[in-house]
Structure formats: C-alpha cells, structure tokens
Amino acid sequence: MVQAWYMDESADDPRTPHHAQPGRPVGLEQLRRLGVLYWKLDADKYENDPELEKIRKERNYSWMDIITICKDKLPNYEEKIKMFYEEHLHVDDEIRYILDGSGYFDVRDEEDRWIRISMEKGDMITLPAGIYHRFTLDERNYVKAMRLFVGDPVWTAYNRPADHFEARGQYLAFLAQTA
C-alpha cells in the first residue's frame, strides 16, 4: 500500500524521505480528496495485465511509453532531475505506473503544504490537471515508469506561479467542492 506523509521544511537532499516531526501520515482518502488516484498493480505482468487494461479503457489512457530515470539511461540526467523537482502543474492529468525502482511525488494540499507520496514497483498514480506537484528519485537513484496519457502526450510543465491556467481554476473549484 502506498505511503504518504506531510513533509518537513528542510532544504536538504530532496531524495531523502523528509518526514515532518512529529510524523503526520496521509491516507488514501485524503489523497482522493485532493484528486490523486492510486492503484496497486502487478508490475511484473504490465505487458499483459487485464487490470491495467481495464483502468486504461475506463479512463481513456490511450497512449503510453516507458521512461527510465537514472544517470546511465536518461540524457541530460542532472538537468532533467532538477526540472522534475521544480514545482509545476500540467493542463492534463499526469499518470505514472512504477515498473521498477522508486521515487517520490510531492503534491500540495488544500492549505499549500507539501505531501510526499512514496512510489515503488507496482504503484500507479494519477495527479489531476492543475495540481502543483514535483517529482524526485529517492536515494536509490533509479526508477522505470510507464507514462500514460489521454490522447497524444503533452509534456509541458508550467512552473509556479501558474494560477492563470484554466486547469488550475478547475482544480481549485474541485477542491472547494470536496471541502
């Protein structure tokens, strides 16, 4: 099961867990209220998994590819890692399925506090369009992930502040309804 928690305010290495003290765990229901969806799947059978196919069909995730993030595999690794960790939003949902390795997605809650979501093999997550977030590897420095999209992929990240985008307004309206 996914683990999530409120983060401390430390500017230390982002690849460490950064648990707030005292610890403040976050459950799936709180993530759902932020629009974050989560599934646990069998990553060893991702190429022929009826459960993954069902999710893709129900949610119209028609496009996919696989990315490996580590020094040996990702061109411009250092630059990309810094870019992934910049706080940003997308105008489309961000869907990631961890096939191997691990990392962290950080998302802002309704009071603008960071929640860290630990992602490892078999975890699949959807971050809603308009949510401020960022990604980093953990101390293992390796993740292999499936990226999914509704329709053609859009890779554009809009660094904060990006409140003028329609997707951000729609997300804030969603949060107001779930409060």
8 Å CB contact between 177 and 110: no
User: In this structure, what CATH number is given to the domain that contains residue 38?
Assistant: 2.60.120.10
State mean pLDDT over 6-29. 96
Q: Could you tell me if residue 134 is inside a domain?
A: yes
pLDDT of amino acid 152: 92
- 53 in a known ligand binding site: no
pTM assigned to the model: 0.97
The model's pLDDT over 83-125, given as tens digits with 9 standing for 90+, comes to: 999 999 999 999 999 999 999 999 999 999 999 999 999 999 9
Q: Could you tell me if residue 178 is inside a domain?
A: no
- 19 in a known ligand binding site: no
- 164 in a known ligand binding site: no
Q: Could you tell me if residue 173 is inside a domain?
A: no
Domain that holds residue 138: 3-168
Give the integer Cα–Cα distance in Å for 96 and 72: 21
Q: Could you tell me if residue 13 is inside a domain?
A: yes
* Count of domains for the chain: 1
Which residue type does 106 have?
D
- 88 in a known ligand binding site: yes
Q: Tell whether the model's pLDDT for residue 1 goes beyond 90.
A: no
Q: Could you tell me if residue 144 is inside a domain?
A: yes
